[in-house]
Amino acid sequence: MSKKVTVIGCGRWGSFIANYLTGIGHDVWLYGPADTPDMIQFKEKRHNSFITLRDELYLSTSLSESLERADVTVISVPSQNLRGLLREMLDAGFVGGKLVLCMKGLELPSGKRLSTVVKEELGERAECAVWIGPGHVQEFDAGIPNCMVIDSENEELKALLVEEFSSNLIRFYYGADLIGNEIGAAAKNVIGIAAGMLDGMGLSSLKGALMSRGTREIARLIKALGGNELSAYGLCHLGDYEATVFSRFSHNRSFGELYVKGEKFERLAEGYYTVRALTALAKEHSVDLPICTTVEDILYRGKNPKEGLFGLFERSLKSEF
């Protein structure tokens, strides 16, 4: 059954989601402030460097109108902007409804999962789900299919979204561990940065070891936070490694590669912020995260990348994990 969907955020993912949901039969509005470069470009040309918007897709610059008409609101903004956006939504008259977070990260400095941020700001007004998993806008736009995950504490919302949002292009799986899926999805971006650093130093062959150890350390953190450690081996984390650790479209991998080459990456790499939240959580819960700690030391404390990453592979040989 067709739903009235509002997508908040007209960057590469928000615009793709709006286009995708329009294409599978939903009545979609794409919202962005009138003075932002993305919305200005869409208003003028109906396309950006990734996609051309479908004719049926409506562009809105009114947050209040966009929220009022929606059966489901999808949010795709930088993770550090989420709390501020939720407060804007309340100011714009949001009284309640179904929210879907299509974003991967943790809030700084709190280290909180994004669904927790929604609960704190909106309380019982919102039924919240997360949309995570592998895939790049460029590949989806070329018709290359992939599998993704929808998870929520609300089983009815989860079932509704999986049924209404699935297609031949994106097959959705039912998530069964909101903690593990959110932490795993956020953490894979940090592993992506480390992988990019290895690429930049000509050490791509070490990415196999990085993947093996990275999955295990994130599994430990998920368990310590009360989630199912096996979630780290699903689509939220290990299942997203091909798209994050190897793909030329990966922002986090590209950021890491250019960082060690001394070049600047101009786009958002969520792992840059997420790594600080992960190491804070690890300290709070007494979990050893050697890869995340090393990436943080390189990015924020000036540690030599080659020395730091080589040090990871010189750790004790007594146990692989």
Which one is predicted more confidently, 320 or 45?
A: 45
The mean pLDDT of the chain is 94
Q: Is the pLDDT reported for residue 34 higher than 50? A: yes
Which one is predicted more confidently, 172 or 48?
A: 172
Q: What angle do CA 64, 70, 75 make, to 5 degrees?
A: 80
Q: Is the pLDDT reported for residue 318 higher than 70? A: no
Neighbours of 220 (CB within 10 A): 17
Strands (DSSP E) along 115-207, which ranges? Answer: 126-132, 146-152, 170-174
Phi, psi torsion values for 101, nearest 5 degrees = -95, 110
Q: Is the pLDDT reported for residue 321 higher than 90? A: no
In the chain, the domains with their CATH numbers are 4-174 (3.40.50.720), 183-312 (1.10.1040.10)
Cis omega (within 30 of 0) for bond into 145: no
Phi, psi torsion values for 250, nearest 5 degrees = -70, 120
Would residue 188 show up in a list of annotated catalytic residues for this protein? yes
Alpha carbon distance 64, 68 (integer Å) = 6
Q: Is the pLDDT reported for residue 2 higher than 70? A: yes
Weakest-pLDDT range from 61-75, 84-98, 249-263, 305-319: 305-319
List the catalytic residue out of 104, 188, 207, 223. 188
Over range 21-32, report the average pLDDT. Answer: 97
Report pLDDT digits (tens) over 39-96. 999 999 999 888 899 999 999 999 999 999 999 999 999 999 999 999 999 999 999 9
Confirm if 101 and 129 have CB atoms less than 8 A apart: yes
Confirm if 189 and 244 have CB atoms less than 8 A apart: yes
Output the pLDDT for position 320.
45
Measured CA distances, 298 to 132, 168, 199, 266 (Å): 27, 41, 15, 19
Q: What is the DSSP string of 246-311?
A: I-TT-HHHHHHHHHHTT----S--THHHHHHHHHHHHHHTT---HHHHHHHHHHHH---HHHHHHH
Q: Is the pLDDT reported for residue 317 higher than 50? A: no
